[in-house]
Amino acid sequence: MSAGELSDACGASDSTIYRRLERLQEYDLLAEQLQIDREGHHYTTYRARLDRIEIELEDGAFEVTIDYQPDDAVDRFTDLFEGLR
């Protein structure tokens, strides 16, 4: 979704959406892609990269595992190839 679409869907202001997007990008939880419309204008869309979070509590200690979706075609191909081994 674009920032405008997210703003509409969440009922939040554009500035709030951009602050949240920036924070999620700091933690590498979003992938962004440049889109070009029919009139030649460009805008950015965002996609969640988070695939799974696993939290385990063992012997009084937490262990957190975070799985991300590949960010680009090269990463997706590498993951696919390594998964075939």
**By three-state DSSP, how is residue 61 classified?**
strand
Domain limits for position 34: 1-48
Total domains, the chain = 2
pLDDT tens for each residue of 15-71: 999 999 999 999 888 888 888 888 888 888 998 888 888 999 999 999 999 888 766
- Whether residue 75 has pLDDT greater than 70: no
Taking the model in full, what pTM does it have?
A: 0.62
HSE of 47 in the Cβ direction (CA atoms, 13 Å)?
Answer: 12
**What is the identity of the amino acid at 25?**
Q
Residues 43 and 55 in one domain: no
Q: What is the pLDDT of residue 32?
A: 86
Helix or strand holding residue 81 (H, E): helix 73-84
Q: What is the pLDDT of residue 62?
A: 94
CA distance 59 to 44: 45
Residues 40 and 14 in one domain: yes
